[in-house]
A and B are shown apart, each in its own frame.
Chain A
Amino acid sequence: MYEFVSGPLVWIAFIVFVSGMVYQFVIMLRSAKKDKVIYPYMSLKYSLRSLFHWIIPFASRNMRDRYEVTIVTFLFHICLILVPILLIAHIAMFSFAWGLKWMALSQGSATYMTIIVILACLFFFIRRLMLPEVQFVTYPSDYLLLAIAAAPFITGLAANQQWFDYQTTVIIHMITGSIMLMVIPFTRLSHMLFFPFTRAYMGSEFGAVRNARDW
């Protein structure tokens, strides 16, 4: 079991993730040609202007108005992306397999950042339950996606802290991690891929066509 999840499953997960992203990207480019307005309106300058105002915390009005969401979402996303990439345990597996090595987070900060992600997921969960305008547009799948995003962090933390049988926890962790990677391209988690493009288009339409700001 351990051999399978730490070997082939990881391979499968990465292949599905990468090829799924490429597939979605290609589909998007193709259908963008059919949507007559996209290519003619796209502007690099205004795309960057828009992206800039939406990846800097508090650079847009809604980010200032909804500051609590802004703080949580930035912490959440930064930790969510950095921890798996810069985790000693993850890097060790790569270097064991391929001899690759890169800068790692200290174990202590990785653990704190993991806790941040889990707390942020809790925040999103409560927000979804409590705010009528969010609850109204919540499908069961939204909770499921939140759980899928939280699971590798919860199980990773459990393994690291050795709360339960280590071997079993790590196996569950690898499975949940693989699931998360594999569903990204095919669910709303694909917002990771689409974010720069939806922003770029809206930024271009606002800037180049409408001569107005979009933040």
Chain B
Amino acid sequence: MGLPAIPIVNDPGLDEAVKDLTPEKISNVVNRIIDSETAARFKVYMKTCVHCGLCSDACHWFLSNDRDPRFSPVGKVKQTLWEIIKRKDSLDPAFLKECSRIAHTECNVCRRCSMYCPFGIDIAYLLMVVRRICSELEMVPQFLQDTVNSHSVTMNQMWVKQDEWIDTLQWQEEEAKGEIKTARIPLDKEGADVFYSVIAPEPKILAQLIGNIAQIMAVAKVDWTMPSFDGWDNSNMAMFSGDFETMGRVERYHHEAAQKLKARRIVMGECGHAFRGAAYDGPRWLGWRQPPIPLIHAVDFYHELITTGRIKIARKFKTPVTVQEPCNIVRGRGLGQKLREIIAATCEDFTPPDPDFEHNYCCGAGGGVINCGPPWKTSRVKGNRVKAEQLADTKAQIIITPCHNCHSGIEDIISGYKLGMHVKFFSEILMEVMEIPDEMRA
């Protein structure tokens, strides 16, 4: 068909593992996963799809790669699952590398396509089945697998040791106290109203965000705590590699940490995938209909603080802003409206992106794709040109991005397409505009 060749990417995680594969090993895993781990959804979706291609326009990969059919949602299912089902017992190892490339690095499991398929087929779920098969065959991009290994050894994503964690919290408490006298980071406090959890990159590379939240909590006079022990990290890369056993352990630790401290509810920092893991993918795997302790995302929490007046806005943010609506909290939890309301309450000059709300484009980083690391960065940035165009059209200077994955993904897009914009978490905006009573100031 004259399609351009897809560049070959060397990824030791895949290139080494592929050497150990044989068609028998592959067929054992494929049969086990398909027979014992999938049921009605998988079977009905496979029977129902009429190969109409109407899901194509949903996918930013397809749109950004000049409508290359290999990047359409159903195109990705065709190149992976349809082949797997057709040739179950004679799949060659090299094909599995293709599967991992497509399912792990060229789909963000953002689920936009399930809003475009007239049958509501959950294509992201189908591609997760492919990831599951790959993961069971140890075919996972190296960087992604490293985060999973870290989860399974340390219960956090970035090999953070417990003493480092506590040190970081104490350091950030000092920083926060330098601004606001009453700022504290209460560790292991029982019965607090709020159990606050973050993802491991915060203590590792973005520690000031923890200092910020300590100040916000102090100003809003929230009764809160963080655990000194494992379970503080709410991120979950195993959910995206296909290692659901580890995913389940990580989610259980997180929820149990909050239970141990008898917290009234869990408030999660500004991260979308972590919220997805804690709010539905995790509970699903663990067989819980709902998480045991109520759980809300930071956007929900800030909305509550602002609308109840516990945080007052001193002056609105003046620079023109737009928003990156994270899939996992907007399409995944309907927080689009609340996000708009807190932006309206804090920013003067807001331009919405188009399309928006549930129809937002994914940042291109989510679903574990950015965690596949530098080898896959070029294709990831190329695969989201539509995002760059959409952001450029808003003519904003700041992109409010209440998600860690989106944050990094959008930064890559800004530099890749030379947009000259900047990304901020909502808490960073809040820090600039909230009213701090004089008696609190250090």
A residues sitting closer than 8 Å to B (CB atoms) are 27-28, 31-38, 40, 50, 54, 60-63, 65-66, 69, 131-139, 142, 188, 190-191, 194-195, 197-199, 201-203, 205-206, 209-215
Q: Which of chain A's residues have a CB closer than 8 A to the CB of B23?
A: none
Q: Once the chains bind, are A210 and B47 in contact (CB under 8 Å)?
A: no
Q: Once the chains bind, are A37 and B284 in contact (CB under 8 Å)?
A: yes
Q: Which of chain A's residues have a CB closer than 8 A to the CB of B316?
A: none
Partner of B44, one of A62, A63, A133, A197: A197
Known contacts A137-B51, A188-B48; A212/B358 CB under 8 A = yes
Q: Once the chains bind, are A198 and B45 in contact (CB under 8 Å)?
A: yes
Known contacts A36-B287, A134-B52, A213-B358; A202/B44 CB under 8 A = no
Q: Once the chains bind, are B289 and A40 in contact (CB under 8 Å)?
A: yes
Does B424 count as interface, using CB distance less than 8 angstroms?
A: no
Chain B: minimal CB distance from A44 (Å) = 16
Q: Given the complex of chains A and B, what is the CA–CA distance between A63 and B54 in angstroms?
A: 9
Q: Once the chains bind, are B50 and A136 in contact (CB under 8 Å)?
A: no
Q: Which candidate, B117-125, B184-192, B346-354, is the interface stretch facing chain A?
A: B117-125
Partner of B331, one of A28, A139, A210: A210
Known contacts A31-B39, A191-B50; A54/B120 CB under 8 A = yes
Q: Using A206-B115, A213-B334 as known contacts, list a sample of 17 further A-B pairs with CB atoms less than 8 Å apart, ordered by residue number in A.
A: A34-B39, A36-B287, A62-B58, A131-B53, A134-B52, A136-B70, A136-B72, A137-B74, A191-B47, A194-B47, A195-B119, A203-B120, A210-B332, A211-B335, A212-B333, A213-B115, A214-B115
Q: Given the complex of chains A and B, what is the CA–CA distance between A38 and B44 in angstroms?
A: 12
Known contacts A50-B120, A62-B54, A136-B78; A214/B44 CB under 8 A = no
Q: Which of chain A's residues have a CB closer than 8 A to the CB of B45?
A: 198
Known contacts A136-B72, A191-B48, A212-B332; A35/B114 CB under 8 A = no
Does B330 count as interface, using CB distance less than 8 angstroms?
A: yes
6 contacts between A and B (CB under 8 A): A62-B54, A132-B67, A133-B62, A194-B44, A206-B115, A212-B334
Q: Given the complex of chains A and B, what is the CA–CA distance between A198 and B119 in angstroms?
A: 6
Q: Which of chain B's residues have a CB closer than 8 A to the CB of A66?
A: 54, 57
Residue on B nearest A204 in the bound complex, by CB: B120
Residue on A nearest B331 in the bound complex, by CB: A212
Contact with A along B21-57 (1 / 0, CB 8 A): 0000000000000000011111111011111111011
Q: Once the chains bind, are B75 and A199 in contact (CB under 8 Å)?
A: no
Q: Which of chain B's residues have a CB closer than 8 A to the CB of A209?
A: 280
Does B376 count as interface, using CB distance less than 8 angstroms?
A: no
Q: Given the complex of chains A and B, what is the CA–CA distance between A142 and B145 in angstroms?
A: 39
Residue on A nearest B328 in the bound complex, by CB: A210
Partner of A137, one of B43, B67, B75, B115: B75
Q: Which of chain A's residues have a CB closer than 8 A to the CB of B68?
A: 132
Q: Which of chain B's residues have a CB closer than 8 A to the CB of A62?
A: 54, 57-58, 115-116, 118
Q: Which of chain B's residues have a CB closer than 8 A to the CB of A61?
A: 115-116, 359
Chain B: minimal CB distance from A49 (Å) = 12
Chain A: minimal CB distance from B272 (Å) = 12
Q: Given the complex of chains A and B, what is the CA–CA distance between A205 and B41 in angstroms?
A: 12
Residue on A nearest B74 in the bound complex, by CB: A137
Does B69 count as interface, using CB distance less than 8 angstroms?
A: yes
Known contacts A37-B284, A133-B72, A210-B332; A202/B54 CB under 8 A = no
Residue on B nearest A50 in the bound complex, by CB: B120
By Cβ-Cβ distance, the 9 closest A-B pairs, closest first, are A202-B120, A211-B334, A136-B69, A35-B39, A34-B39, A32-B40, A134-B53, A31-B40, A133-B56
Q: Which of chain B's residues have a CB closer than 8 A to the CB of A33?
A: 39
Q: Which of chain A's residues have a CB closer than 8 A to the CB of B69?
A: 132-133, 135-137
Q: Given the complex of chains A and B, what is the CA–CA distance between A193 and B74 in angstroms?
A: 21
Chain A: minimal CB distance from B422 (Å) = 28
Q: Which of chain A's residues have a CB closer than 8 A to the CB of B42?
A: 35
Q: Which of chain A's residues have a CB closer than 8 A to the CB of B47?
A: 188, 190-191, 194
Q: Given the complex of chains A and B, what is the CA–CA distance between A31 and B38 in angstroms?
A: 9
Does B5 count as interface, using CB distance less than 8 angstroms?
A: no
Q: Given the complex of chains A and B, what is the CA–CA distance between A36 and B281 in angstroms?
A: 12
Chain A: minimal CB distance from B320 (Å) = 27
Known contacts A34-B40, A38-B41, A132-B69; A139/B51 CB under 8 A = yes
Partner of B114, one of A63, A194, A211, A214: A214
Does B6 count as interface, using CB distance less than 8 angstroms?
A: no
Known contacts A135-B69, A198-B119; A28/B51 CB under 8 A = no
Q: Which of chain A's residues have a CB closer than 8 A to the CB of B280?
A: 209-210
Does B205 count as interface, using CB distance less than 8 angstroms?
A: no
Q: Given the complex of chains A and B, what is the CA–CA distance between A121 and B67 in angstroms?
A: 25
Chain A: minimal CB distance from B257 (Å) = 24
Partner of A201, one of B41, B67, B116: B41
Does B8 count as interface, using CB distance less than 8 angstroms?
A: no
Q: Once the chains bind, are B78 and A202 in contact (CB under 8 Å)?
A: no
Q: Given the complex of chains A and B, what is the CA–CA distance between A142 and B332 in angstroms?
A: 33
Q: Which of chain A's residues have a CB closer than 8 A to the CB of B114?
A: 202, 214
Does B1 count as interface, using CB distance less than 8 angstroms?
A: yes
Q: Given the complex of chains A and B, what is the CA–CA distance between A138 and B69 in angstroms?
A: 11
Q: Given the complex of chains A and B, what is the CA–CA distance between A31 and B334 in angstroms?
A: 29
Q: Once the chains bind, are A134 and B39 in contact (CB under 8 Å)?
A: no
